[in-house]
Amino acid sequence: MELESGERRGSGVTVTPEGGRESSEAAPPEGERGEVTPPSTGLDTSSGSGADTPASDSKRLRLFKAAIDTTVEKLLETASFERFAQCFQPVYKIQPQFTHSVYKQLISQLQTSIQEEVSQISEDGLFERALPKLDQLERESEARTDPAWRPTGSPAVDLRTHLVPYLLQQRDYLRLKLKRAKEENAALAQSVLEGRSRVESLVRVRDEQCQRWQQCTELCRQFQLDEH
The span from the CA of 27 to the CA of 36, in Å, is 17
DSSP helix/strand/coil, 18: strand
> What is the spatial distance between Cα 211 and Cα 132, in angstroms, rounded to a whole number?
87
Around Cβ 121, how many Cβ atoms within 10 Å? 13
pLDDT tens, position by position, for the chain (228 residues)?
A: 333 333 333 344 444 443 344 433 444 444 444 444 444 444 444 444 344 445 556 788 888 888 888 888 888 888 888 888 888 888 888 888 888 888 888 888 888 888 888 888 888 878 888 888 888 888 887 777 777 778 888 888 888 888 999 999 999 999 999 999 999 999 999 999 999 999 999 999 999 999 989 888 888 888 776 666
Count Cβ neighbours within 10 Å for each residue of 153-190 and write b for 16 or more, e otherwise. Answer: eeeeeeeeeeeeeeeeeeeeeeeeeeeeeeeeeeeeee
**pLDDT given for residue 200 in this prediction:** 93
Considering only CA atoms, which of 120, 119, 126, 79 is closest in space to residue 103? 79
pTM above 0.75, yes or no: no
Predicted local confidence at residue 10, as pLDDT: 39
Q: What is the pLDDT of residue 171?
A: 95
What pLDDT is recorded for position 38? 43
Q: What is the pLDDT of residue 227?
A: 66
Distance of CA 177 to the CA centre of its chain: 33
What pLDDT, on a 0 to 100 scale, did the predictor assign at position 9? 38
Nearby residues of 109 by Cβ (< 8 Å), 6 or more positions away:
12, 13
pLDDT for position 133: 86
Give the pLDDT confidence score for residue 166 in this predicted structure: 92
User: Among 35, 37, 114, which Cα is nearest to 82's?
Assistant: 35
Contacts of 204 (CB under 8 A, 6+ apart): none
Q: DSSP letters of 132-172?
A: HHHHHHHHHHHH--SPPP---S-HHHHHHHHHHHHHHHHHH
